[in-house]
Chain A
């Protein structure tokens, strides 16, 4: 067996991949080497025969059907796409509807509005660093909101009385909530922001009333 480079030279010559100088040098070798010359002739004849018998273009059997099948598949793809889109919209609507029908939606809504009211009614500047709640409002008729400042925790506690129970494993998320931690043994859920600082602790007091502990020293 010849070294691969020699084989490569032969096929590079055959396939027209050589430079002019390389061609001249190789053809000089062919003149001096009858065996190489014979092999070159055979391979050239083989290439020619392959090219002749393997056409670059062939008639496609049942060509009209070939085209029409492609059109059918394209139409089917478009249909599937529109169905998926429709299904996605329905799915979103169903999800929202399910979420709104969930008993927790009323609770979450009440909490959100109470917190919003609490934030909006907070005085602009507070030298003491804690919030002063002037008034509170809850949209739910059966829910009452009250607040007080917890000195030890340096936080304003918002109490919403009359809400339905929050399951310990219920995942809560919010605009600035990055993660949450449920501690079922203490029946508390702590919401954290992106920096890992607690935003809100949801729990119950000794009487079973919901407790919301917020860190009001944050901006």
Chain B
């Protein structure tokens, strides 16, 4: 399960920030928002593939977290708890939208793929042609992921981006370990098919 970011010396710990937030200190909560907004937004964005919706859902996750804070017992890391809330908020949204990316490709969903000023691709000092190829590959990968069904996209994001173990994924979704493995396998096969041309030349 994703854990909290490393705490710099002198930085107030998550535990203290959570305690202050639970006492109604909105400034402490604001600090937590600042600390984790980038990771929560990345997760919602990867699952939704739409900047505006991902922004709203990330915000909704923080609001839900604020509401649920009185019940947070600190038996898990704050970020793990927050991540679960954000995941549920996002997946509920996906379920409501009933996006079936296995079918037709929805251009609108990838139209605003890259947020203004967002670091969707890592900074690179590579030569311009290499950087361009890298950017094109990144775009192709994001498009391919956008075409996956929500279930397949979900396991790919949880495994490849968040680095969750199978057991953690199965607990979060929730589903059996076998389902996690099957979804991961077929999601990767679909990505492979979609990226076949890129694959043979670049990968």
Q: Which residues of chain A have a CB within 8 Å of any CB of chain B?
A: 4, 7-8, 10-12, 15, 17, 42-43, 45-47, 49-63, 66-67, 69-71, 73-75, 77
Contacts and interface: CB of A to CB of B under 8 A. Distances in A.
B51 A54 contact: no
B51 A61 contact: yes
Nearest to A17: B166
16 contacts: A4-B182, A7-B182, A11-B188, A46-B192, A47-B188, A54-B141, A55-B119, A58-B38, A58-B42, A58-B119, A58-B120, A59-B117, A61-B117, A70-B59, A74-B26, A77-B66
A56 B3 CA distance: 12
A58 B59 contact: no
Interface in B163-203: 163, 165-166, 178, 181-182, 184-185, 188, 191-192, 195, 199, 203
A7 B185 contact: yes
A12 B120 CA distance: 28
Q: What does DSSP make chain A's interface, helix, strand, loop or mixed?
A: helix
Given A54-B157, A55-B119, 15 more contacts: A10-B185, A12-B166, A17-B165, A47-B160, A50-B156, A51-B160, A54-B42, A54-B145, A60-B115, A61-B115, A62-B55, A66-B33, A70-B63, A71-B30, A74-B26
Contacts of B66: 70, 74, 77
B122 interface: yes
Contact of A58 (B30, B115, B203): B115
Interface string B124-161: 00000000000001100110010000000000110111
Given A54-B141, A54-B160, A74-B26, A60 B185 contact: no
Contact of B181 (A8, A49, A53): A8
Given A11-B185, A47-B160, A56-B161, A73 B115 contact: no
Contact of A59 (B26, B38, B138): B38
Given A49-B137, A53-B142, A67 B33 contact: yes
A61 B29 contact: no
Contacts of B63: 70, 73-74, 77
Contacts of B156: 50
Given A11-B188, A56-B42, A74-B63, A63 B161 contact: no
Interface residues of B, number: 53
Nearest to B115: A61
Nearest to A43: B188
B122 A70 contact: no
Contacts of A57: 38-39, 42
Contacts of B19: none
A70 B33 contact: yes
A59 B30 contact: no
A205 B185 CA distance: 85
Contact of A70 (B38, B62, B138, B165): B62
B72 to A, nearest CB: 16
